[in-house]
Amino acid sequence: MAQKAAKTLASRNAAVLKRTHVISAALHLLFLLLHQVFQRPRSLKPYFLLAVPTLLIEFYLDRVGRPRYTDDGSLRSAGEDLNATGLTEYMWDVLYWTQGCIVAVCLFNDRAWWLWAVIPLYSVYLAYTTIMGMKKGFAGIGGGGSEEEDLNATKSKTQLKKEKRGGGKVKYGPSG
């Protein structure tokens, strides 16, 4: 069963990588072709600054996600899951957004490269939400409240209502 899952992951990774490489190559060639044909005052500096680093991301994803086979054709390694959350997901976001920016630059002009500024803003947003989530998670660790508040926080609503009515505590003592 595990071998079937590995084969499924390998075929999915290979298909995703092939599609990504074809789309990326087509977009970069289209940009360079339009740059040569129209000779607009289109500078290649923003292209090299913003688009070429995403090629490094694409090749990194290829390196970690490409399935590896032995000489006899059997699957040696399925590669990492390219649908994983976290950093991999962020790399795909950067890659897709840059491809969208290339399309916008081809359709409009070099000012569309400013759309790429969304990526650092998105990074700041992700960092902020992560820090706030961690802050909420660590809020109960440091104490800060009274001992009675901590005890009440661990009690259920039913227990608190019974104690409020006075019937929540069992008294042990001499009977009789």
Q: Is residue 105 part of a domain?
A: yes
Q: Is residue 174 part of a domain?
A: no
Q: Which amino acid is at 98?
A: T
Domain span holding position 110: 2-122
Q: Is residue 88 part of a domain?
A: yes
Q: Is residue 109 part of a domain?
A: yes
| Maximum Cα–Cα distance across the chain | 105
Give the whole-angstrom CA distance, residue 64 versus residue 83.
Answer: 12
Whether the CB-CB separation of 101 and 50 falls below 8 Å is answered with: yes
Give the whole-angstrom CA distance, residue 89 versus residue 119.
Answer: 13
Whether the CB-CB separation of 167 and 158 falls below 8 Å is answered with: no
Give the whole-angstrom CA distance, residue 88 versus residue 43.
Answer: 31
Q: Is residue 75 part of a domain?
A: yes
Q: Is residue 70 part of a domain?
A: yes
Measuring CA to CA, which residue among 127, 118, 55, 115 is closest to residue 91?
55
Q: Is residue 130 part of a domain?
A: no
Tens-of-pLDDT digits for all 176 residues of the chain? 568 888 899 999 999 999 999 999 999 999 999 888 876 666 788 888 888 889 999 999 999 999 999 999 888 998 899 999 888 998 998 899 899 989 998 888 888 888 888 888 888 888 888 888 888 877 767 655 555 555 556 777 787 777 777 765 555 567 55
Q: What is the domain count for the chain? A: 1
Q: Is residue 46 part of a domain?
A: yes
pTM above 0.75, yes or no: no
Which residues have C-beta within 8 Å of that of residue 13, sequence separation ≥ 6? 65, 66, 67, 78, 79, 81, 82
